[in-house]
């Protein structure tokens, strides 16, 4: 974690929700959802073959230990890949870029913490094949019931690349899907984030939290309700819009990894046994 530096419907997989810990998240007692600030920072670490398990977990645990001992407030949590290349995603959320800068400065200005993180970075780097980072902003107008749901153990992330010049069609497509889900599957949930920095351009990610495998099965079973709410004409329009405006998409599933996370106090308070398990 380089802190010092810096269900799927039949046609369109959009059951994916707002993740992330934030600096000042709010917690809804009614649905046990933690709603994060809108700016999302994602750091990806691709591990070398054979290094994705214990060795990488050890160095990342050292990051967590150093941050915790310093009582740092630049929180993050980790997702370990269950599909695609072996990698870990570290997610942080901020209410503004000024706050992101302030949090990073607070880490860098702590000489003892920076020194310890530099040592761990060197050890961690030996285990990695590649790293990258990106910054996204949540689009509340394109999200449905966003938030990190307490008790989740998995997250899915789908990335869509929109064809240049077809932005308005993409927004129309997502709003068509939103309306159908609100009508047919109102308990569906996802957070959609628009790329600001770091990827190839014109990208959106859709993120959801999932409690267990049974919920994944249940989400697929809800496709019929979504299609019924969409109707034949709506389905035809959706297919036409997708063919016109979506250049590519990729879907992946991740395991939430508490041992290598440094979650916000709100997340820990909501589920202490998960985020701070006893040895």
Q: Which of 142, 152, 241, 240 is nearest to 182 (CA)?
A: 142
Cβ neighbours, 10 Å, residue 170: 21
One domain, residues 163 and 106? no
Residue 197: inside a domain? yes
CA distance 20 to 43: 12
One domain, residues 120 and 185? no
Residue 10: inside a domain? no
One domain, residues 244 and 258? no
CA distance 66 to 279: 18
Residue 74: exposed, middle, or buried by beta-carbon count in 10 A (0-12, 13-18, 19+)? buried
Residue 275: inside a domain? no
One domain, residues 125 and 258? yes
One domain, residues 175 and 80? no
CA distance 241 to 206: 18
pLDDT at 10: 33
CATH of residue 230: 3.30.70
One domain, residues 200 and 257? no
Where does the pLDDT of residue 207 fall: very low under 50, low under 70, confident under 90, or very high at 90 and above?
very high
Cβ atoms of 73 and 23 within 8 Å: the answer is yes
Half-sphere exposure of 89 (CA within 13 A, CB side): 26
pLDDT at 239: 94
pLDDT at 31: 57
One domain, residues 104 and 200? no
Residue 163: inside a domain? yes
Residue 3: inside a domain? no
Residue 176 pLDDT exceeds 80: yes
Residue 220: inside a domain? yes
CA distance 157 to 208: 7
Query: What is the pLDDT averaged over residues 209-227?
Result: 88
One domain, residues 46 and 182? no
User: The tokens of 38 are what?
Assistant: 């809108």
Phi, psi of 261 (to 5 degrees): -110, 155
User: The tokens of 13 are what?
Assistant: 């997989």
One domain, residues 182 and 262? no
Residue 112: inside a domain? yes
Query: What is the pLDDT averaged over residues 127-150?
Result: 94
CATH of residue 61: 3.30.70.100
Q: How many structural domains does the chain have?
A: 2
pLDDT tens readout for residues 49-65:
888 778 899 999 999 99
Residue 117: inside a domain? yes
Domain carrying residue 96: 26-136+252-267
pLDDT tens readout for residues 1-60:
544 333 333 334 333 333 233 333 444 444 588 888 999 999 999 999 888 778 899 999
pLDDT tens readout for residues 116-138:
999 999 999 999 999 999 999 99
Cβ atoms of 77 and 36 within 8 Å: the answer is no
CA distance 54 to 59: 9
One domain, residues 243 and 198? yes
CA distance 100 to 240: 40
CA distance 15 to 169: 20
One domain, residues 113 and 130? yes
One domain, residues 116 and 128? yes
């Amino acid at each position: 974690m380089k802190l010092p530096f810096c269900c799927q419907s039949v046609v369109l997989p959009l059951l994916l929700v707002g993740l992330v810990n934030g600096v000042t998240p709010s917690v809804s007692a009614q649905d046990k959802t933690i709603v994060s600030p809108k700016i999302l920072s994602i750091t990806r670490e691709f591990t070398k073959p054979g290094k994705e398990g214990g060795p990488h977990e050890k160095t990342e645990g050292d990051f967590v230990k150093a941050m915790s001992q310093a009582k740092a407030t630049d929180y993050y949590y980790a997702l370990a890949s269950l599909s695609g290349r072996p990698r870990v995603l570290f997610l942080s959320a901020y209410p503004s870029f000024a706050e992101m800068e302030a949090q990073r400065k607070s880490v860098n200005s702590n000489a003892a913490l920076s020194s310890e993180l530099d040592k761990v970075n060197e050890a961690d780097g030996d285990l990695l094949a590649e790293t990258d980072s990106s910054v996204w902003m949540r689009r509340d107008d394109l999200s449905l019931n966003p938030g990190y749901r307490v008790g989740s153990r998995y997250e899915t992330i789908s990335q869509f690349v929109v064809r240049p010049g077809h932005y308005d069609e993409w927004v129309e497509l997502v709003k068509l899907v939103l309306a159908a889900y609100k009508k047919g599957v109102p308990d569906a949930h996802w957070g959609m984030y628009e790329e600001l920095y770091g990827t190839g351009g014109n990208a959106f990610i859709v993120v959801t939290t999932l409690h267990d495998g049974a919920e994944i099965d249940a989400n697929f079973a809800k496709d019929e309700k979504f299609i019924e709410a969409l109707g034949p004409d709506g389905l035809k329009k959706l297919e036409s819009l997708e063919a016109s405006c979506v250049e590519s998409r990729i879907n992946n599933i991740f395991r939430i990894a508490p041992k290598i996370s440094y979650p916000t106090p709100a997340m820990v308070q909501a589920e202490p046994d998960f985020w701070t398990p006893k040895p």
